[in-house]
Amino acid sequence: MTSAILCLFWTFVSLAILAAGYLHAYGFKSSQIFNDILLFGKLHDTQRKRTVIQYIEVPKRWFYHFYLVGVIVNSCVCYHVTVAYVYMAHPPAIIEGPVKFLQSSHHANIDAATAIMLLAMMCVQTGRRLVECLCVSVYSHSTINIFHYIYGIVFYASFGATVLSEAPAFNGQTRVHVADFFKWQCILGMAMFLYASWQQYNIHVMFARLRQNKAGGRSDLKHHIPRGGWFEVVSCPHYLMELVIYSTLLVMSSLTHRALWTVTLSVFVSQMTTGHFTHRWYHEHFEKYTHRRTAVIPFVF
């Protein structure tokens, strides 16, 4: 069994999200249950009828659970994988067992140094988002359904397995070469990652300030039109930066990690689908909303 399992899974997720988004936009918009499954947050705040789906919703502020799980799982995996590669030892059975299952009859598409860096970057990403959720974001009473919640948990909890599915085997012979940390792909990827992370943080700060008074306290929970920076060209720059962040992981893997391609594809599909509906929501709820902005990708989409 190879990483093909993960490739198939994430490809299926991408197709499911794409199909659901298409059906909502052009076919089943009037279906209340379908809307409740697909949409979350402000995109379905205006709905009034209650369905069975709305009884299994959780607060949107629980987004931090995704990142808490991501920090815990990916930090543990990153630590034990680093020790295993540096000291040419075997990681704990709880890590080695599942990875061996995914790696059987496989050819490594990334080196040990790249695997370590990818895991470390995900630790940074989930750690930063956890801090933003707890200390920066000002949430309304919006909700997400249990399906979105489970998807978020699975996504971040499985990232380590995805990376390691095409990494060198834990056979006590794989050695980390310091020079591999300084390949041009790693340097470029790291620069892109840091830029996108900083921009995404600033964007979330701008969102929070829309609901704060001059003293920094919460003023209201209404939705406002954000302005300045990347908001002048796209409606959802935080989604744009998410795309850049996951693209950097592909760059660092030299575009050879197949499972990572499918994970990135799922991120692109989910962020662009949500971005499209958010962009449309702004136009529907703000009469003077500018037409100069696109949804996620400047001047394109």
Task: Write out pLDDT tens, residues 185-211.
Answer: 999 999 999 999 999 999 999 988 887
Q: How far is CA 253 from the centre of its chain?
A: 17
Angle at 196 between CA 123 and CA 176, to 5 degrees: 45
Residue 299 lies in a domain: no
CA pair distance 295, 288, nearest whole angstrom: 16
Residue 15 lies in a domain: yes
For 254, the domain range is 4-285
Q: What is the three-class DSSP state of 42? A: helix
Number of domains in the chain: 1
CA pair distance 12, 38, nearest whole angstrom: 16
Residue 295 lies in a domain: no
- pLDDT, tens digit, for every residue of 247-279? 999 999 999 999 999 999 999 999 999 999 889
CA pair distance 151, 164, nearest whole angstrom: 20
Q: Residues of 219-228 as b/e, b for ≥16 C-beta within 10 angstroms?
A: eeeebeebee
The segments of the chain whose pLDDT lies below 70 read 1-2, 27-55, 104-106, 212-221
Nearby residues of 208 by Cβ (< 8 Å), 6 or more positions away: 136, 137, 138
Is-contact 189 109, C-beta < 8 A?
no
- Among candidate residues 176, 116, 140, the one with its CA nearest the CA of residue 43: 140
Q: What is the three-class DSSP state of 16? A: helix
CA pair distance 102, 121, nearest whole angstrom: 22
CA pair distance 226, 222, nearest whole angstrom: 12
Residue 147 lies in a domain: yes
Q: Where are the alpha helices (DSSP H) in the chain?
A: 4-26, 32-38, 63-86, 93-103, 112-135, 146-157, 159-164, 184-209, 237-252, 258-285
CA pair distance 227, 286, nearest whole angstrom: 14
CA pair distance 286, 292, nearest whole angstrom: 14
Residue 261 lies in a domain: yes
- Strand-pair category, 57-59 with 143-145: antiparallel
- pLDDT, tens digit, for every residue of 158-175? 999 999 999 988 877 777
- Among candidate residues 71, 116, 77, the one with its CA nearest the CA of residue 95: 77
Terminal CA-to-CA distance of the chain, rounded, Å?
38
Per-residue pLDDT, 34:
54
